[in-house]
Structure 1
């Protein structure tokens, strides 16, 4: 009897101990207890886990050895992201910051000057080196003068050992006048062994939508497409012609020698009325407005305009006169647009100018001409 009672007590104790063990195993582990050293190298995540163990505030994952230290990833600086981790979506109302505006001249190097306000260079009839109207010149010395010449004749404007620029005058003589009213209708250039001409074609009625410019190079007619900035250059690259408007305006460049800006314009009815030109009804006398810029002219340069670039030139134009006229028709007359046979002409042979007898003529011509840089040259400017 006693034996049976002891056996029941033993069974009851076993049941109680088993229940206590089962309850203990179901309780969560105490996080305040440090891990055993034997378990320190074991990963905290189960074998099939894809998510890292992140800290409660979403910062760095915790180091199992120290709950306050972040868990450094294997490669030091890279976060320990799972292979298939996805980026969190942007909030529904999130706005992208606007792109900052491009700074001025962002497409140009900082040392390049950019034309402002004008799309193309045009003659400045109030600047040095210009020849406009009937014809009114402003010399390299800044002095205004008129040179009338004669209609249907040729006169030299610039003559230097490596450059000859002639002009053809057109005009009309009103009744009771002793001289012609004249305008420059064409230019002829000689340089090296080449020739180039540009002229304003005759027009009975002026139309801005019609191009009135004609060109030749070494006797052959040139056709330059009628759109803005279309250009032609010679095979030797010693002359470039670029349209500065789709019609009636060009810039002619002889590298390191000269630039010539040209417009074709008519004599308007208003000009005819004011000056009493007595222009015939079937001819609006299309003519050239031109402005020159020269480089490396010799000190002996000649021509109606060229002589005003001589270092010691004394301009014969009378100061204070409303219309100072200078002569020299006989001195500067040539027999054709491509002749260098005037009595004062100094154009002699093809070739480069001797640098020991030259100077840079860098007078302000156009707002955009300072885009051209001439290294190792000194500039002589008159303002």
Structure 2
């Protein structure tokens, strides 16, 4: 993962000297890479080991392999903004478009095709490395949690909990980068199997579905997506030494790199708590996932579990690419933004703070 530095050090910040760190979620090894490209690009997403970048100058989208330096050039987002029939100004459209989830496929002839879900606009668009503009797809994306992108496909959960029509199921849709068909409904999950909210995560090359098994939020359950598609509703009993982090997105991490955490667990911010909680799948018990030092509001005190907030920050795209740390939902984000203004740190890579005159820098 691209390591979340915190302290206002967004990718490309001058204090990083053109470098950026990556953290291996299996081995715990840090790799520091020189990427001067980030001085005039902002990071929008990461997928299949690549960084999805937007160039400040003209909104062109680039796929960057951070270790080889290889780049795939894609059309600018301005070509997509003109296709949106809304009352938004073009500056607002471009601001909203920065919140994306991308999937990538490569044809036999080497042509790269990318599909992006515009999360805040509920639309999708495609472009190839040979195109000069993006193509907006005609259909709307179902309302959903953060999508999971893997193997050229995107999976998303549409939960009907707040809808009047059939409010007792969650639906999983599949979208493929090389197809332009409407999202394909692949499974409907009864509420008695997994209750709101429901998340998707890739673990050992398999897609898992994580959620509560009742509306009391007392227990969690993990199912294989392939089992649910086949209407086999037996929860996964264990995930070995893995730990699943659930935030806006979900990550699977080896417990060996996060002492003193143990494997076979799910870590996330419990709906009724303000702290990061750990749920052991084996014993069906909850415990705190971080110590008091690691949850310091200042972000300056580092405790023995201090890597856990960094991994959580990678699950929250509101924080991950902006030099902000994810602590608790809204309060710390406000505090960190104020801190950045007070310190005079360049905050222009935060889409929520961009003015029309500073849209690309």
Same-fold call, TM > 0.5?
no
- TM-score in terms of structure 1 length: 0.23
Higher RCO (C-alpha 8 Å, min separation 6): 1
TM-score, normalization by structure 2: 0.24
Larger fraction in strand: 2
